[in-house]
Amino acid sequence: MPQFCAFLSTTNLHTALNIVKLSNTDICQQDGKIILEKINLTIGAGEFTYLIGKTGSGKTSLLKTIYAALPLINGHGEVAGFDLKDIKRQNVHLLRRKLGIVFQDFNLLSDRNVFENLLFVLRATGWTSQAEMDKRANDVLAEVGLQGKHLAMPFELSGGEQQRVVIARALLNQPVLLIADEPTGNLDPETSDDVLVLMRNLAKQHNTAVLCATHDYRILQNFPARIVRVQNGKLIDDEGVAIK
């Protein structure tokens, strides 16, 4: 098995680490057009942060910059120890091994069962031992409460169960940062609450930083945490942010 980022044994030291640090960073579209200016954002290990803002405000572009799907042109950006400005395309996969990404659309492989979906990701990220892959897949399924669903096909699962598989997939390589882009957008309120509780508990257990983009202000009120808002081309931290 490849050497993935291991969690530090000293909790206080780990908590002090900045997993995300953006300083005077411009967020640009693929064509170089600036959509967010002079962004400053720091997220520490174990910190749960909501990212809010209107559709088209730049939330997804900010997330894409953090996981290096969009280039960082101006300013400084560091994520999980990688310099976003200097990272080479051939090394982006090394950054993403330290990240877990959860999308609104589940994007599970429809022709493979739950267990095979997880094994596919493990092989793609460099795991080679079948015994270790089987153990890791079983471990993450247990963490998300799907021990008995490993042979189920995606179409046999409810929306909430599919999102739990997606979260399990995101946890496979023990990420230091979990990025969730509208993770409850396709779920009913009760299931949304279950998914949020699961993500928060997992983040706490593993001291994993979470950046969760959402339009659902109900979950912000029910499960309060730090909030940053994209507004008028700027990023406003939770000081002075009111949920309406």
- Residues near 200 by beta carbon (within 8 Å), at least 6 away in sequence: 48, 210, 223, 225
Query: Residues 178-210, buried b or exposed e (16+ Cβ, 10 A)?
Result: bbbbbbbebbeeebbbbbbebbeebbeebbbbb
Largest CA distance in the chain: 51
CB count within 10 Å of CB 139 equals 12
Over residues 11-59, the pLDDT tens digits come to 333 444 899 999 999 999 888 899 999 999 999 999 999 999 988 899 9
Over range 123-138, report the average pLDDT: 95
SS3 content of the chain, % helix, strand, coil (to 5): 35, 25, 40
Residue 152: what pLDDT?
97
Of 4-8, 155-159, 220-224, least confident by mean pLDDT is 4-8
Over range 232-240, report the average pLDDT: 79
Nearest Cα to Cα of residue 55 among 30, 35, 32, 81 = 35
Residue 232 CA to residue 117 CA, distance in Å, equals 40
Does the pLDDT value for residue 4 go beyond 70?
no
Residue 122: what pLDDT?
94
- Binned at pLDDT 50, 70 and 90, residue 134 comes out as very high
Does the pLDDT value for residue 186 go beyond 90?
no
E strand or H helix that includes residue 118 = helix 114-124
**Alpha carbon 154 to chain centroid distance?**
21
Nearest Cα to Cα of residue 192 among 171, 223, 170 = 223
Q: Where are the beta strands (DSSP E) in the chain?
A: 18-28, 34-44, 48-52, 76-79, 82-83, 99-103, 177-181, 209-213, 226-231, 234-236
Q: Does residue 198 sit in helix, strand or coil?
A: helix
Over residues 79-120, the pLDDT tens digits come to 999 999 999 999 998 999 999 999 888 889 999 999 999 999
Residue 167: what pLDDT?
94
The whole-model pTM stands at 0.86
Nearest Cα to Cα of residue 15 among 50, 40, 42 = 42
